Amino acid sequence: MAATSGYGAGIPYQTIATGEHWYSLQPFAFACANGLVDILQPDPQWVGGVTGVLKICHLAQAHGVSVIAHAGMNYPYGQHLSFAMPAIQWGDRSEGVSPPGVPLHERTVLPGTPAIENGYLVPSAAPGFGFDFSLQWLEARTV
């Protein structure tokens, strides 16, 4: 049975999402080809970066499956990817979620990463995904 919105794996009225811990194209292809899920959740850092997620998005789109990149809103490359791919309709923020009273922009990992504000995000228009590394930032992380 092919997956349709709300009917993944043949379970009526239940949307099935998975893939956060799948590490290659093959499990995503199997899930799409067998109608197992409604939403694929590849993590850009675990499936081969932007190129890996691009392949998964094309695969998903061909099978009528949605994609929400796991942690896609955490880093500039995931933000740009999420905005560029028609299969991705939502953004996921999972790393450095702010405790109450702490602004989300204070929890960003990489300099130049726009933060979600009031439920919205505008990716950086700066070159190179908008990273803004300073020599001081790099030296503080050098081993």
Q: Tell me which amino acid residue 94 is.
A: S
pLDDT attached to residue 116: 86
Q: What is the CATH number of domain 8-140?
A: 3.20.20.120
Model confidence pLDDT, tens digit, residues 93-121: 876 667 787 887 788 888 888 988 888 89
Set 21, 58, 70, 80: catalytic member: 70
Q: What percent of the chain has pLDDT over 70?
A: 90
30 Ramachandran zone, left/alpha/beta (phi>0; psi -120 to 50) = alpha
70 is catalytic: yes
Q: Tell me which amino acid residue 135 is.
A: L
Angle at which helix 49-63 crosses helix 76-84, to 10 degrees, equals 20
Q: Where are the domains of the chain?
A: 8-140
The residues pairing with 117 across neighbouring beta strands, listed in sequence order, are 120
